[in-house]
């Protein structure tokens, strides 16, 4: 009996330790994601201000919005995401974090054109709507007892389909296709927000017993990147519905 109580007490202590560690891990994930979003927002705002003066494109604006360089700027964040996934295991936690923040600056450059297309007020309003929706979806993903890991394959296929459709529509310029892409994009990234949150939580619980601090640090950065991308994409697709054009 005494041995059973000792084992039970040990298990309870480990569970409590994991709970505390999980909260700290998730706080780091959300904190890193928030810093990344702030960097992106500031970079987008600053670059748009330098690119347009008195309603006219400056030399910088001509280069990033009206030259072939715009295609590199458009697709560079996507390339960096794939590159990050390929090399993250060979990076230190500090290098991975620097990579993430560099990516956030590049994403700000890529998104700076929204300040030329939409009013500042509608951008702020859409950001607030996205923040509320993201918080609710992420909280549900964290607290739900339902296993939603099966969503992953379908959601990834949906993202691939969206990317292909968006590339095709660059040439077709169809408003109907763009509307369908935006509607599906909101649904897919809403699902990914909940899915990624649960996956980050479960990954920590599965690996917490090893207490590999380097792995945990890089895992938090990768989790922050995934949620950052979910937020950015959810924001952009909502902006196509809620944004008022200049």
For residues 50-57, give the mean pLDDT: 83
Q: Where are the domains of the chain?
A: 2-242
Average pLDDT over residues 184-213: 89
> Once rounded to an integer, what is the mean pLDDT over residues 119-141?
96
Mean pLDDT of 220-235: 96
DSSP 245: B
List pLDDT tens digits, range 8-48.
444 444 566 667 889 999 999 999 999 999 999 999 999 99
Amino acid 7: pLDDT: 42
Q: Which pLDDT score is estimated for 71?
A: 84
DSSP one-letter code for 112:
T
Q: Identify which has the larger pLDDT, 108 or 63.
A: 108
pLDDT of 57 above 90: no
What does the pLDDT read at residue 74?
Answer: 83
Return the pLDDT at 234.
97
User: Quick one: angle between helices 175-207 and 213-242, nearest 10?
Assistant: 160
User: Residue 211: what pLDDT?
Assistant: 61
Query: What rounded mean pLDDT belongs to the chain?
Result: 88
Residues 6+ apart with CB under 8 A from 237: 181, 182, 183, 185, 186, 189
pLDDT at position 84 is 82
Nearest to 125 by CA among 235, 223, 33: 235
Place of tokens 């990033």: 64
Whether 213 shows a pLDDT value over 80: the answer reads: no
In the predicted structure, residue 208 carries a pLDDT above the cut 80: no
Q: Tens digits of per-residue pLDDT, 80-110?
A: 888 887 788 788 889 999 999 999 999 999 9
Crossing angle, helix 120-143 and helix 175-207, to 10 degrees? 40
Q: Which residue has the tokens 């991308």?
A: 229
Higher pLDDT, 223 or 21: 223
Dihedral class, residue 147 (left if φ above 0, else alpha if ψ from -120 to 50, else beta): beta
């Amino acid at each position: 009996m005494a041995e059973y109580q000792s084992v039970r007490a040990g298990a309870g202590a480990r569970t409590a330790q994991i709970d505390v560690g999980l909260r700290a891990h998730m706080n780091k994930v959300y904190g890193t994601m928030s810093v990344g979003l702030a960097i992106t927002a500031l970079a987008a705002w600053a670059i748009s201000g330098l690119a347009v003066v008195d309603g006219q494109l400056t030399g910088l604006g001509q280069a990033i919005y009206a030259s072939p360089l715009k295609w590199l700027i458009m697709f560079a964040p996507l390339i960096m995401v794939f590159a990050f996934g390929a090399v993250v295991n060979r990076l230190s936690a500090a290098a991975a974090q620097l990579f993430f923040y560099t990516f956030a600056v590049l994403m700000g450059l890529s998104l700076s054109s929204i300040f030329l297309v939409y009013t500042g007020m509608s951008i702020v309003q859409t950001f607030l709507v996205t923040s509320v929706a993201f918080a609710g979806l992420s909280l549900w993903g964290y607290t739900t007892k339902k296993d939603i890991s099966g969503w992953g394959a379908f959601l990834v296929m949906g993202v691939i389909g969206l990317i292909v459709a968006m590339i095709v529509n660059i040439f077709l310029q169809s408003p109907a296709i763009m509307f369908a892409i935006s509607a599906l994009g909101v649904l897919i990234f809403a699902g990914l927000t909940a899915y990624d949150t649960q996956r980050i939580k479960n990954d920590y619980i599965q690996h917490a017993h090893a207490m590999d601090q380097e792995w945990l640090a890089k895992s938090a950065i990768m989790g922050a990147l995934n949620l950052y991308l979910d937020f950015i994409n959810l924001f952009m697709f909502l902006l196509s519905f809620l944004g008022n054009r200049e």
